[in-house]
Structure 1
Amino acid sequence: MTLREELVEYAERSSGLIDDSPQMDEENTKRKVIEPLIELLGWNILSSGVELEYSVQMGSGTKKVDYALKLEGTPVVFVEAKGCDTPLEQSHENQLKSYMRQVGVDWGLLSNGRTFEIFRRDVSSNRPNEVSLAEFSIKEAPENKHPLRALSRGSITSGESRQIAENIEAVQKAVEALRKNKESLAEDLTGIVTGVAGSAVSQHVEDDAKSFVDDLIESLEEQTHREDVVNQRIRDDRIVSTEAENTEYVIRVTRNGDEIHRVNEKMQSESVASLVNYLIEEEELLDEIEIPYIPGTGRGSRALLNDTPEHPNGKQMKGNQRMSGGYYLLTHLSSKDKKRYISELSKKVGLGCEFTGKW
C-alpha cells in the first residue's frame, strides 16, 4: 500500500472517530488520531525512537513535549498534540516553535486531530526561525502526502525531507511574489497585448490578465503535492556531493538509465532501509511481491521483508529496521547480499540500482 493510500484510510478512519466524538479530549486524541499517524510515518511508538513527554529546559523550569521522534537518541521531530475539543491558537504554535528552537530540532508537527500544521526550522540566515511548511485538515491529509512524508523516518534518515521542504518553500515564495505583484503583472501583460492588438481590448485583457495570475498561483500551489516535481528537484539538485560519495553508502535508483532517486547514509543498513521505504511509498513495491518476501528462489528460510520481525519458520529477524506501513526489513546481511537483494527488489518495480561511495 502506498503512503497516499495509507493516508486515505487514516483520514477516513480518524474523521469517523472525530465525528462520533467531536469533543474528544487530549488523551483520546493522542491515542486514536495522533499516534496512528506517527506509526504510519514509520516511527514505532513502542521503541526507543519515540519518547513521550520529552523534557525541554526552558529558562529555570522544565517543559514537556508530547512526542520526541529520535534518530540515534537525538530528537529530530517534535510533535505537540491538543484534544479535538481544543481549537488551535497562536500560543500553541509559539509553544512548539520555542521547543524546537531551544533544542535545535528541525521539524515540528502541531495538531488537535482536526487540523495539522507542519513546521521546519530554517537555518539559512544568521537567526534561525521556524516556518510553516503546510497547514491542512484531517480530510486533506492525503493531498498533503509530501509535507507529511517529510516527517517520515525514512525521509529524514535519507535526507529527502530537506529536498521536499526546499521544493515547497520555493513554491511558497513564488506564490507570495505573484500575489504581491498581481496588479503590476496584470498591467504589464495588458500593456503588451494592447500594444499588439490595440486599446479596444485593454479592459477585457486586464480582467483576463488578473485571472491568469490567479490561475498561475493555483497551479503553483498544486505543484507542491506532485511527485514528479519533487523527484525532478532531487534530480536537478544532485543532493549527494563528491565528498559524500566518498564517505557514505550511496544507492542511485534509475529508470531507463536516468536517475530518479538517491539515498546516502553513513551505515549500510540505513541506506538499504531508506531505499526500501522509497520503493514501498513511491513505487508500489508491495503490489509486486508477496509478504513474507523471501529473496532469490523464494524457497529459503529467511524473509527479507515481513509484516512481523520474524522469519517464516518463526525465528526472530535479527538486525531489522521498521519500514513504512509497519513492515520489517532484514538488514543483518553481508554487503554483497544487501546489494544483491536490494537490486532484486528494485527490479520488481522496473528500476535499476547503482551502488557507489563506500560500497
Structure 2
Amino acid sequence: MTGAALQSFIARSQSVIDSSPPADCPSTRVWLVDPLLETLGWNVHADSCTTDTTIDGTPLEYVLEIEGVPALLVAVEPAAATLDQSRAASLLETMTWSGIDRALYTNGHEFIWLADGTGTTGTGTGTDTDTVTVGVDHLVCDLTSLADHATSVDHFTRSTIAQQLDPSARATVARKLALERRTVVDAIVAELVSTTRSEGDRADELEALTERFVEQLIVVFADDDSHVATASEDSAEISFQFTDSSTTDSSTTDGETPGTRAGTATPDVQGSSDTNSDTDRPTETTESETEAIDTETESGTETETETTDGNGSYVVRFFNDRGSIGAIGHSSSRQALVQAAEYLFERGLSGVAVPWQPPDGERTVLNGKPIVADGSPMESPQQLSNGLYLETAGTADEHAARVESLTARAGLRAMLTEAWG
C-alpha cells in the first residue's frame, strides 16, 4: 500500500461524508469500507471474502482469507452511528478464541485497528510478574488522521499479513474451524443421528456434545500461549476518545504492530458523532498509561511470596453455552486459582453464600474471614478484590479441582490445559 493510495482513499471518502453521508450499513460498506479494504489490497468480491457471517456469536461483515485461512475480521457500523463498546469487546473475544490475529471495527470514518502483535507469551508489566498475558496492540483514529498512521495501517494490508501467515501451521486449523464451526457441527451431528437413529432429546444431546467437541478442537489447535488473558482483562480499557493529540507513527518501527500494547484489554468505546469537531483527533494510550492499565490487577493482596510450580503455564479457558468466553493463565497453579476466582466472580459466582465448600466435601474454600467453617484458620488464605478469602493451600491437582468446582458453581465450564497436565 502506497501513501498516495491511502491519501486518495481519504480524499474520496471525505468527499462522500461531506456531501451525503451513508445512512445505513450497506451503503457505508459500498462507499467507505469496500474502498478501504481494496486500498489495503483485499478483494471483497472474491471467493476469499466471506460476508455477513458469524464467528463465536459475533456478527461480522467481512472475513477475509489468504490461501483458505481466515486472516482479517471486519465489523462495520453505519456511518451515522458511533462504534459500540459491547461489539468491540465481542470482536476482541472472537480474536482471542479463534486465533485470528487481525481485526478492524469501523463506521467508515472512525477506526479501531486490533492486532495480536506478539504471537508468543509475554510477561505482564504489572506487579504480578509471572502472569501470562497476550499483547494486543490497538490503534484508534479517525479518517482525517488516518494518513498519520500509515505505518501501522500497513500491518492490515493483504501483502503484509500474507508474509506473516503460514497456511501449514497448526494454528490455522483453529481459524478454519472457527469460521466453519456451524457447518462442521451440523455435518457431524447429521452423521451421528443417522448412525444411531437418534431423535428428540437424544439428538439434542448429540448436538450439544458435538459443539463442545468442536470448541475444544479450536482451543487445542489455537496457539495457546499467545491467547491467554489475565483475570483483569475486563477491567482494563482501551480509550476510544477523539481528542487533540500530536501522537503519530514516528515511533513505530518495521516489524512492530500498530498502536500501543494494552494487554488483553477490552476496548472502551466512547466515540464522538461530530467528525468535524476540533477535538476529533485520535488518542493512543502512552507507554506509561499502558503500564498503569497492566498494574491494575484484580487478584487482591498476596499473603506470601509467590513461586512457580514448575515449567509452563497453568491455563484455564472458560466456556458458556455459546462458546469460549475467555481465559486466564499463570506460571503458578496457586495464582491461576486466584485469577480464576476473580474472573468467575464477575460472571455468575457473586451469589455464592459463604462459607462455601465444593460439593465433594472439601473443606471451606471461600469465606468472609480467613477461617474455615469450624472456626479454624485457613492454611493459605488470599484475599480477593471483593473482600472474600480464598483457600489457596494444596497441590496443583487440588487447585485444579477447586477451579473446576468454582467454575461449575458459576454455571460455566472450564478447560484446564498446559501445565495442569
TM-score, shorter chain, exceeding 0.5 = no
The answer to which structure has the higher helix fraction is 1
Q: Normalising by the residue count of structure 1, what TM-score does the alignment of the two structures yield? A: 0.42
Q: Normalising by the residue count of structure 2, what TM-score does the alignment of the two structures yield? A: 0.37
